Structure 1
Amino acid sequence: MEPIPVVRFEPPAVRVVDQSLLPAEERWIELRTLEQLEEAIRSLRVRGAPLLGVCGATGVAIAAGVDASDAGIRSAAERVGRVRPTAVELESGARACAEAILGLPEGERAGAAWRFCGEYLARRQEEDRRLAEQGVPVLRPGAVLTHCNTGSLATAGLGTALGVIRLAFARGMVERCYVTETRPLLQGARLTMWELERSGIPAVLLPDTAAAALLASGAVSTVITGADRIARNGDTANKVGTLQLALAAARFGVPFVIAAPRSTFDPACPAGSAIPIEQRESSEVGGWGACRWTVPGAAAFNPAFDVTPADLIAAFVTEQGVIRPPFEVTVPAFLEQSREGAPA
């Protein structure tokens, strides 16, 4: 079982699959400047917390080819880390790459940064494999429900939640995967369904608004999603709509599981109330592309993420093991034991 290729390093550029065009078109785009990378992140041509960590490191590598001074490297790391504020790995990936090369002579920094990116990606892919192994025993046999996209398109590896699902299906534990559309940008309908089809896993698409009814029906054995930032107390930010899934799962007695690497945990964040939530344009809610289905100029509430309180979560699956409640005790203990403040 191999990852779907989504990123290639070709110094001084990086090539990525343009996720905004899937599933209609599989197009690779070349990013040569920090401005191009920022636009690709902001417009969700590349997305997914772990893959954004790779992109953060790549931004520093691109910038080092233009200005390898201490000030230039630090400025690039800070700049790319701010493009999307909720996902902790974008900032930590950029910072880790900068820290890895700042002690080197300026003439060696760009090459070292690109090597760091390759090593970072290889480590991410290995983390996905270990995370999937940890996660399979956590799932109840039967059908699973997932939200947004957590596969290769989100991590450049097997995926987090979707990686667990893929391995569990291969071992006969998952019979089908239910997928929310994930409004308003349809990452579930466009991206997760595309990945499941390529993986040969039976998939059923549903509107976000039908998720509670599905859970009430008893058809789902486990809900499993990814995460963009996990606070020290276990509160978790993920794609908007995750909170309502967790609430419905709790009401109907279905375990709600988060699958995320260690790097998604933010030791400096005490609780969900401290997680910055990205607010996106109203135009994303009122239509798709040139097709508009509401009145011109309609205002919209369009947060990219919401925060699920820790008491709604049954377990965190990481590449280093499974964390269970009480999270106010077990998450800090996990962070202390792993001692991996940021990817390096």
Structure 2
Amino acid sequence: MPTSLNWDDGEIITVDQRRLPHEYRTVHLRTVDDVIDAIQTLTVRGAPAIGLAGALGVALAAARHPADRAAVHAAAERLAAARPTAVNLRWAVDRALRRLSEGPGAVLDEALTMLREDGEVNRLAARRAADLVSSLGGPGALRLLTHCNTGRFATAAGGTALGAILDLAERGRVAEVLVDETRPLLQGSRLTAWELDEAKVPYRICVDSAAPAAMARGMVDCVLVGADRITAAGDVANKIGTYGLAVAAARHGIPFVVVAPESTWDRTIAQGSDIVVEERAGHEVTVFGGAAVAPAGARVFNPAFDVTPAELITAIVSEQHTVRG
């Protein structure tokens, strides 16, 4: 199974997601600062992937400071704070850090265990979600819609919602996938379309605002998305634009399915309004392809995520459970 994160001789090797689809390029992360920069600049993105990068970052810190636990804890806190919304980052950093008393080798072993586990977790969640979508969608080939990127670039391998789509495609159950471009940074048209093209799954790209129109025209049988944090109540934080899709899907009676690992659940948070939503720099909106597309000095509202309430979600599927709405 192709992977997007690897460990090799004291460094993290990952795909630079900013350069796709024009260039498939790997980068080598050798320090904690490298890892933090990669997470914040979206060189590495996707909740599971940034969690795994964070855990490997703790391993880098432990190797650099084998006799200074305080320094490793400080580095771990910086890693966990690199992006605030996705709970997987804190979860993975804390899990790696718990092995620190056993030495740097144990920290690395734990991070590599998480890396290996991720592929299996994704495979199980994808299969469970594909089974559910098959039962919801009837016997024929399905027209699916997805948002952002939830494939192997967002994880270590396989993917969550996109993993389920690829599983369905292997069963011959996919007629077409509508891929939201996912403004402002186009993770759908740059990354998801790239993965679907690689897998030879039929797809079309649509601008985000066209997705509700596609639903109204009967072009969508099911919506499949990932998640960055899920509350105890089942509210879901995911890439900005997800909430609007859920509203439109509810209006048209279309199943709306979230696929995410158990590590994405944050049961310490009661409801979606308690989630801290990251707001990113305005230039992501006002500059496109290196050219300004807004008046100089324009103010910008650029949340990276939104929150979809549980009542709009048909089901949340993990590697262990299917929670029906």
TM-score, structure 2 length as denominator?
0.96
Give the residue type in structure 2 aligned to 1:130.
L
CA shift, 1:73, in A, is 2.2
User: C-alpha deviations, 1:293-325, integer Å up to 9, x for none?
Assistant: 111221110000000010000001110121113
Preserved CA contact (<8 Å) 1:11 1:114: no
- Alpha-carbon distance in 2 for matches of 1:74, 1:274: 26
1:217, CA displacement in angstroms?
A: 0.7
Aligned partners of 2:100 and 2:106 also within 8 Å = no
Aligned pairs (5 A) from 1:286-301: 286-301=286-301
- Name the residue aligned to 1:76: 75
Moved more, 6-15 or 215-224: 6-15
Comparing 135-144 with 303-312, which one deviates more in the overlay? Answer: 135-144
CA distance in 2, matches of 1:118, 1:93: 11
Q: 2: CA distance between counterparts of 1:35 and 1:272?
A: 31
The answer for the alignment partner of 1:312 in structure 2 is 312
Tell me, yes or no, if the aligned pair for 1:49 and 1:228 is still in contact at 8 Å: yes
Unmatched tracts of structure 1, length 5 or more:
326-344
What residue in structure 2 maps to residue 119 of structure 1? 113
Residue of structure 1 equivalent to 2:284: 284
Q: What letter is aligned with 1:103?
A: S
Query: Which residue in 2 is equivalent to 1:177?
Result: 177
* Count of aligned pairs: 318
1:289 Cα offset (Å): 4.2
Counterpart contact for 2:62–2:100, Cα < 8 Å: no
Distance 1:275 1:70 in 2: 30
Query: Aligned equivalents of 1:8 and 1:253: distance in 2?
Result: 41
Q: Partner residue of 2:46?
A: 48
Are 1:56 and 1:92, in contact at CA under 8 Å, matched by a contact in 2?
no
Give the secondary structure class of the aligned counterpart of 1:258: strand
Distance across 2 between alignment mates of 1:95 and 1:129: 24
CA contact (8 A) 2:35 2:54 kept: no
Matches within 5 A, 1:86-105: 86-99=85-98, 101-104=99-102
For residues 100 and 105 of structure 2, the distance between their equivalents in structure 1, rounded to whole angstroms, comes to 12
Whole-angstrom CA distance in 1 between matches of 2:85 and 2:156: 19
Q: What's the CA shift string for 1:65-121, capped at 9, x where partnerless?
A: 22232212221221100010000001110110000x2221xxxx2222222222111
Shift of 1:288: 2.2
1:258-298 CA distances to partner (integer Å, 9 max, x unpaired)?
00010000011110011100000011001224222111221
Question: Secondary structure of 2:101's partner?
Answer: coil
Alpha-carbon RMSD? 1.0
- SS of the residue aligned with 1:178? strand
Matches within 5 A, 1:1-344: 2=1, 4-68=2-66, 69-99=68-98, 101-104=99-102, 109-139=103-133, 140=137, 141-325=141-325
Cα distance in structure 2, aligned partners of 1:193 and 1:238: 19
Report if aligned partners of 1:278, 1:305 keep a CA contact under 8 Å in 2.
yes
Secondary structure at 1:194's aligned position in 2? Answer: helix
Counterpart residue number, 1:328: none
Q: Which moved more, 1:90-99 or 1:129-138?
A: 129-138
Matched residue SS, 2:153: helix
**Rounded Cα–Cα distance in structure 2 between residues aligned with 1:196 and 1:169:** 10
| Identical aligned residues as a percent | 44
AA aligned to 1:117 is A
C-alpha separation in 2, matches of 1:34 and 1:302: 27
SS in 2 for 1:52: helix
Question: Contact (CA 8 Å) 1:256, 1:312: kept in 2 or not?
Answer: yes
1:4-33 per-residue CA deviation (whole Å, 9 max, x = no partner) reads 331110132111100000000011001111
8 Å Cα contact 1:78/1:95 also seen in 2: no
Please state whether the residue corresponding to 1:26 is helix, strand or coil: coil
For 2:260, the aligned partner's letter is: A
Mean CA deviation greater in 221-230 or 66-75: 66-75
Amino acid at match of 2:129: G
Contact 2:5 2:53 in 1 (8 A): no
